[in-house]
């Protein structure tokens, strides 16, 4: 009889010795239950395959063989394989205590030091697996068990583990893994090695310390876009863990933090010390960024930019060259999971209500546009022929020009529109005016700049007006959140309209400063509050 959740606890004996008890958890492929080993008198966990999951019974045997190869205190132990309803069932050690996902669901995040200790345990488990040429491929909070007594972390569920070079698609064409914890190179269908598991570890550390993955979004398409393109901005709640997380979440696996460096940094954090730098500080050189047309930017406003050799080297160029294949291949991967239609729609997304030109301002818009000047049917913007744009009307209650083909995403508070090549980002945040107003916000952001933006430099903050309203402008250069991304330049304007603070910014590579300035002027000038 197929298990349907109605069996009486303790009523079924399998393998001649394992008495099944309460259900401990259930995934897409099977059910895990507590059981009693009546021969040895110990508690174990039994993983049985769900009959309606489409799982191949051979996968259970493969998982058992894989785990048997990786013997480590932080890797789940498989004691036995028995038959249950004609299918293999795995008998594993019972880790008393729930998963990391269970803890986070209760709102109990880990402190930075606890997170560092967790990271060391998982890193040791992955290192042991990688030494056996085993890739886990599904490192996520639900697959991390936290022992109630002693605090040991145990990596479990090697059901989709594979050797390097294994395909990322199953026999039925379903994407293997959990998207928001999956490395970019796996998302694009490329070769994935141990570095892919380390990316997943970085995302798990973020979740452990903050409660959620940094790539959690409201759709598979938005998750994909966030992993491939968006700024990787670890939360300040991670404290000293921020450098190691940034290193693990490098999009280019060739530039990603290695296991040895990650262990050194995590050990320092676990001991309450400042983590050592990920790599020795190289000799820097001054370069003058060039615009797409090859014209140097105005030295009066740009000045020299410090370039990290790793940023300017072949690895960085490879990372940039891969940007478009990332999307193409990732769409192919998600097509196998029947989401290609949604992803293709996102490539030229027009939120509900988008029109060819801006709507006439009404309601809240009256506070952000001059009363004597009606909104034009189209906004004339300098430079749009060179830098094509389109107008979008966003569900958050605003309309503006963004790069043609831009893809929308949000982190909850902010809305982003990113150019198809992933290089130019337009951001919008709308909130009540905080104490200190627009200039107070910008000065506080400037003060926090060195912590929130690596390599923060050349910053200016000035009080100004926008359409006759109190405003503040902030401009700065920084190193970007990953070495592959490279140095960037950001322009930001915030203004007060009644009790609402509108904040609009544009960020682009330092080599595209002319485009950044043109788009920034166009974006700010075209912005209209729609009251939606």
Catalytic residues: 138
Q: How many helices (H) and strands (E) does the chain have?
A: 15, 20
| CA dist 457 → 67, 306, 518 (Å) | 49, 10, 21
Angle subtended at Cα 445 by Cα 442 and Cα 447, rounded to the nearest 5 degrees = 110
Written as six digits, the tokens of 329 are 């291949």
Contact 489, 516 (CB under 8 A): yes
CA distance 408 to 395: 11
C-beta of residue 135 within 8 angstroms of C-beta of residue 129: yes
Q: For residue 6, give both structure tokens.
A: 């109605």
Rounded to an integer, what distance in angstroms lies between the CA atom of residue 50 and that of residue 53? 5
> Is residue 231 within 8 Å of 425, Cβ to Cβ?
yes
Select from 46, 134, 120 the least CA-distant residue to 84: 46
Contact yes or no for 216/241 (Cβ under 8 A): no
CA nearest neighbour of 122 among 151, 149, 90: 151
d(CA 523, CA 526): 5
User: Quick check: helix, strand or coil at residue 307?
Assistant: strand
Q: How many residues does the chain have?
A: 532
C-alpha span between 302 and 287 (Å, rounded): 11
Characterize 408-438 residue by residue with b for buried, 16 or more Cβ atoms within 10 angstroms of its Cβ, and e for exposed: bbbbeeebbbbbbebbbbbbbbbeebeeebb
| C-alpha to C-alpha distance for 32 and 60, rounded to whole angstroms | 13
């Amino acid at each position: 009889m197929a298990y349907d959740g109605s069996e009486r606890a303790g009523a079924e004996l399998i393998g001649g010795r394992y008495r099944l008890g309460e259900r401990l958890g259930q995934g897409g492929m099977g059910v895990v239950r507590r059981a009693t080993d009546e021969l040895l008198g110990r508690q174990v966990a039994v993983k049985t395959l769900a009959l309606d999951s489409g799982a191949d019974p051979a996968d259970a045997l493969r998982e058992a063989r894989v785990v048997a190869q990786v013997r480590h205190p932080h890797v789940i132990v498989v004691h036995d394989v028995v038959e249950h309803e004609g299918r293999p069932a795995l008998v594993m050690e019972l880790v008393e205590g729930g998963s990391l996902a269970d803890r986070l669901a209760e709102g109990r995040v880990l402190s930075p030091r606890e997170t560092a200790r967790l990271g060391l345990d998982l890193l040791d488990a992955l290192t042991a697996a990688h030494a056996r040429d085993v890739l886990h491929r599904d490192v996520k909070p639900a697959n991390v068990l936290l022992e109630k007594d002693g605090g040991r972390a145990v990596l479990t569920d090697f059901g989709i583990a594979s050797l390097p070079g294994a395909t990322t698609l199953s026999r039925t064409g379903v994407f293997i893994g959990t998207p928001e914890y999956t490395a970019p190179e796996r998302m694009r269908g490329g070769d994935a090695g141990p570095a892919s598991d380390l990316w997943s570890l970085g995302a798990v550390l973020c979740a452990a310390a903050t409660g959620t993955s940094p790539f959690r979004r409201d759709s598979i398409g938005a998750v994909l876009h966030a992993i491939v393109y968006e700024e990787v901005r670890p939360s300040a709640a991670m404290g000293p863990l921020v450098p190691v997380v940034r290193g693990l979440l490098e999009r280019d696996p060739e530039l990603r933090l290695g296991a040895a460096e990650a262990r050194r940094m995590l050990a320092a954090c676990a001991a309450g010390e400042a983590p050592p730098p990920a790599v020795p500080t190289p000799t820097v050189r001054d370069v003058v960024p060039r615009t797409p047309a090859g014209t140097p930017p105005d030295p009066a406003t740009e000045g020299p930019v410090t370039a990290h050799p790793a940023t300017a080297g072949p690895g960085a160029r490879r990372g940039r060259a891969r940007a478009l294949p990332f999307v193409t291949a990732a769409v192919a991967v998600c097509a196998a999971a029947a989401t290609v239609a949604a992803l293709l729609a996102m490539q030229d997304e027009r939120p509900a209500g988008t029109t060819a030109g801006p709507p006439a301002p009404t309601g809240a818009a009256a506070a952000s546009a001059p009363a004597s000047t009606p909104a034009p049917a189209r906004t004339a913007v300098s430079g749009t022929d060179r830098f094509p744009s389109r107008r979008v009307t966003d569900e958050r209650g605003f309309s503006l020009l963004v790069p043609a083909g831009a893809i929308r995403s949000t982190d909850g508070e902010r809305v982003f529109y990113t150019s198809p090549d992933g290089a130019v980002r337009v951001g919008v945040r709308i909130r009540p005016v905080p104490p200190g107003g627009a200039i107070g916000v910008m000065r506080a952001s400037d003060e926090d700049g060195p912590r929130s933006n690596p390599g923060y430099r050349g910053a200016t903050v000035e009080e100004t007006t926008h359409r006759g309203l109190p405003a503040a402008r902030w401009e700065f250069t920084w190193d970007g959140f990953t070495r592959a991304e490279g140095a960037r330049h950001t322009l930001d304007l915030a203004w007060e309209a009644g009790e609402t603070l509108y904040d609009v910014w544009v960020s682009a590579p330092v080599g595209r400063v002319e485009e950044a300035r043109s788009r920034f002027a166009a974006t700010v000038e075209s912005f209209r509050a729609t009251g939606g």
